[in-house]
Amino acid sequence: MLRSDPERLIRETMARFVDQEVIPIAEELDSKGEFPQALFQQLAEMGVFGIRYPRGQGGAGGNTTLYCIICEELARGLMSLASITAMQCLMGTNFLFHYGSDQMRADYFLPAMRGEKIGCFCMTEPEAGSDLGAITTRATAVDDGYLINGMKTWVTDGPEASFYTVLCQTDPAKRLRGIGYFFVPRDLPGVSLSPRFECLGTRTTPICEVAFKDVLIPNEYRVTPEGRGLSCFLAILAEIRTMTAALGLGLQRGAMDASMQYTKERQAFGKPISKYQLIQSKIARMATNLEASRLMVYNAAAMIDRGEECMKQATMAKYFASEAACSAADECTRIFAGYGYSMEYPAQRYFRDTRFLLSGGGTHEVLQTNIARWEGL
């Protein structure tokens, strides 16, 4: 799949980083559940956070394909680190870069590229997930800007963030036509955070609720044009789904690698279990799903890089690769048998971390509805 020297170089660099810096401490990080600050800073120094953004404007001049390679390799080592990186590279900084003022980019975007500030994306609400028209967080125009009131939940990187990109409703009567994105620095009066969520998987990824009570922001902190909030989000949705598929691809590789190694080491009835046909059938399914996921992910990424419409392909890639990751993690725990239930081995971490993939970029129930509609139902 790697056709160009930049793709090969990024793959080799990230694979070496994951093998040397991430995998040896992945279990320790997951067990402690702490934000991986040292690895985060290393990634910043490598220029990873700016991979999607132009050179000369704080970025590394890469594209979606390179971004997906980074996400895939990191997820192979530790899904938590991959999800944190994915947020910093895309959702957490995208609207700030494209619609923020020069001063905002100087104060927040460039430091985020250097790993000095962390950005995140606030969309989901307790009563509004996939239905964006149902959000109740309100941005009310006042003489000197906007007042933000409401609450967001499941905010990835929320506890560590320096600033938030917040989806708000400006006119409830307009529903989807009234939504827009607003830039909110964390240190503004009226911003408060819940305690960090204790989650089943991706335990080093900090998640919380963020509440906004009469948070006053200037007019220039509205980072999507009037009436274009939905279209601006849809412009990056295919990339979000393709990135999530790349995370699933990376986790599949991790589960596959662990399974392959274990089948060659584990002896049963006088020979390695890799010699038994039922074990081989599990590996064959994992390998086939892995190859199909790889083709779907990088086809969608290439279409994005060519500027082609690919929402259908990105949605299918996200749906398939995430489900395949769940299947691979399940098979991995079965291959490890009793040891798959032990926290000493990585099989259980792959199994727990797959749940993170099932909601980001759209729940699979919604995605299946979308796919069926595109097929004419």
Domain that holds residue 278: 230-374
130 pLDDT above the threshold of 90: no
pLDDT reported for residue 4: 66
pLDDT reported for residue 362: 87
Q: Which phi and psi angles does 216 have, rounded to 5°? A: -95, 125
Quick one: 56 and 189 in the same domain?
no
Quick one: 183 and 308 in the same domain?
no
Quick one: 242 and 355 in the same domain?
yes
46-79 tens-digit pLDDT: 999 999 999 989 999 999 999 999 999 999 999 9
9-23 tens-digit pLDDT: 999 999 999 999 999
> Which residue, 51, 82, 113, sits at the end of a domain?
113
Q: pLDDT exceeding 90 applies to what percent of the chain?
A: 90
> Which residue, 113, 139, 154, sits at the end of a domain?
113
Quick one: 131 and 250 in the same domain?
no
Quick one: 187 and 316 in the same domain?
no
Quick one: 241 and 161 in the same domain?
no
Q: How many CB atoms lie within 10 A of CB 306?
A: 10
Between CA 77 and CA 82, with CA 78 as vertex, the angle to 5 degrees is: 105
Cα-Cα-Cα-Cα torsion 180, 185, 190, 195, nearest 10 degrees, comes to 100
Quick one: 236 and 354 in the same domain?
yes
Question: CA 314, CA 318: separation in Å to the nearest integer?
Answer: 6
pLDDT reported for residue 111: 97
pLDDT reported for residue 129: 76
Q: What is the DSSP string of 309-374?
A: --HHHHHHHHHHHHHHHHHHHHHHHHHHGGGGGSTTSTHHHHHHHGGGGGTTTS-HHHHHHHHHHH
User: How far, CA to CA in Å, does 176 sit from each of 98, 173, 345?
Assistant: 21, 9, 46
Quick one: 240 and 341 in the same domain?
yes
pLDDT reported for residue 360: 85
Q: Which of 92-101, 246-255, 310-319, 354-363 has the lowest mean pLDDT?
A: 354-363
Question: CA 353, CA 17: separation in Å to the nearest integer?
Answer: 21
Query: Binning pLDDT at 50, 70 and 90, where does residue 149 land?
Result: very high
Query: Binning pLDDT at 50, 70 and 90, where does residue 227 land?
Result: confident
Q: Name 183's bridge partners.
A: 165
pTM here is: 0.94
pLDDT reported for residue 226: 85
Quick one: 268 and 298 in the same domain?
yes
Q: Where are the alpha helices (DSSP H) in the chain?
A: 5-17, 26-32, 37-45, 64-77, 79-89, 94-99, 102-104, 110-113, 229-265, 277-305, 311-336, 347-353, 364-374
Question: CA 121, CA 184: separation in Å to the nearest integer?
Answer: 10
Place of tokens 């046909």: 277
231-267 tens-digit pLDDT: 999 999 999 999 999 999 999 999 999 999 999 999 9
pLDDT reported for residue 156: 94
> Which residue, 69, 96, 113, sits at the end of a domain?
113
Give 47 or 131, the one with higher predicted confidence. Answer: 47
Quick one: 136 and 95 in the same domain?
no
Quick one: 255 and 317 in the same domain?
yes
**CATH number reported for the structural domain that contains residue 76 in this entry:** 1.10.540.10
pLDDT reported for residue 3: 58
157 token code pair: 């990187």
Q: What's the average model confidence in pLDDT over 362-369?
A: 92
pLDDT reported for residue 246: 98
**CATH number reported for the structural domain that contains residue 170 in this entry:** 2.40.110.10
Q: Is the CA virtual torsion 45, 79, 59, 94 positive or negative?
A: negative
In this structure, the strands spanning 163-169 and 119-122 are parallel
Tell me how many domains the chain contains: 3
Q: What's the average model confidence in pLDDT over 128-150?
A: 90
pLDDT reported for residue 9: 94
The rounded mean pLDDT for the chain is 95
**CATH number reported for the structural domain that contains residue 291 in this entry:** 1.20.140.10
CB 151 within 8 A of CB 126: yes
pLDDT reported for residue 358: 93
Quick one: 123 and 16 in the same domain?
no
Question: CA 236, CA 314: separation in Å to the nearest integer?
Answer: 11
Residue 350, judged by CB atoms within 10 A of its CB (0-12, 13-18, 19+), counts as: buried
Q: In Å, how far from its chain's centre is CA 323? A: 16
